[in-house]
Amino acid sequence: MRKKIIAGNWKMNKLEADIQTWIADFHQYFTGEPKGIRIAIFPPFTGLGSLRKGLPHYVEVGAQNVSEHLEGAYTGEISATMIADSGANAVLIGHSERRQYHHENNLLLHRKLSIAVQGGLTPYYCVGESQAERQAGDAEHVIRTQLREGMIGLSLSEAEQIVLAYEPVWAIGTGLTASKEDVQKMHHFIRQEVAGLFGINVAENMPILYGGSVTGATAPELLNCPDVDGVLVGGASLKLETFAPIINAGVEA
């Protein structure tokens, strides 16, 4: 059984004081563990330690990027072992903002996926097509290429660690959510692709999250799609006022 995962990507937001406020709010909203779901928060690197210390153990904490190198002379980079050492257990890989602004390609992301798993982290591998690609009818082709080039060559035991996130670029931060029909269709396609790469068992167990302008209003119908195993939330995860209803939608789905 795939548990629903409610994940928050804070992107490049929040100073220490804001993080402490968020932690205090979380404890106010959730006095006990929300049942039957996983919660994961992805702060900037600088917030990893504070979040790990301040949040209950059942909340997973992850980084938003990882170096493709193990260690050494790579000024400005953060390794998988450093992320794990901060108490975090996960990492976003291939978010569209990394692909777009930092020119991360599938080949590089393949190395990052592999190194994340070796470092004991759960990689959340993000895929998604642009508006132009969707309009040209290329959405499935783009997703297939991102999946194949990113994951091909990983061992079965590496692939089993992966969480996928489908985030159509045109839906991120725009207020445009993909329709639940489009999301279900793409998630089903993604699961078939994973089955083609790693077999039906890995595909059936792999969580596939949707991301792109998710709110408390849209989360319930998305989370009720059979192939949607959770949501990756940007803007609405920054405050508990908007994030708590999404967590609750996960519990109820």
What is the binding site for ligand 13P (CB under 6 A)? 9, 95, 167, 172-173, 211-214, 232-236
CA distances from 160 to 42, 68, 89 (A): 21, 20, 15
Distances (CA, A) of 71 to 80, 93, 158, 184: 9, 18, 20, 40
95 labelled catalytic: yes
Q: Closest separation between CB of residue 101 and ligand 13P, Å?
A: 13
Question: DSSP labels for 63-114?
Answer: ES---SSSSSS-TT---HHHHHHTT--EEEES-HHHHHHS---HHHHHHHHH
**CB nearer ligand 13P, residue 124 or residue 198:** 124
Shortest CB 165 distance to ligand 13P, Å: 7
Tokens of 134: 């969707």
Exposure class string for 103-127: b at 16+ Cβ within 10 A, else e: ebebebbbebbbbbbebebbbbbbb
Q: How many residues does the chain have?
A: 253
Strand partners, 211: 232
The residue among 198 and 231 lying less far from ligand 13P, judged by its C-beta, is: 231
Identify which of residues 53 and 102 has a Cβ nearer to ligand 13P in the complex.
102
Q: Which of 60, 129, 167, 193 is catalytic?
A: 167
Closest CA to 202 of 212, 213, 192: 192
Nearer to ligand 13P, 198 or 209 (CB): 209
Beta bridge partners, 91, equal 63, 123
Q: How near is the Cβ of 177 to ligand 13P at its closest, in Å?
A: 8
In whole angstroms, the minimum distance from the beta carbon of 11 to ligand 13P comes to: 7
* For ligand 13P, the closer CB: 91 or 232: 232
In the complex, least distance from residue 64 CB atom to ligand 13P, rounded to whole angstroms: 9
Which residue out of 60, 68, 95, 97 is catalytically annotated?
Answer: 95
Which residue number is nearest to ligand 13P in terms of Cβ? Answer: 234
The H or E element that residue 34 is part of is none
Known catalytic residues are: 95, 167
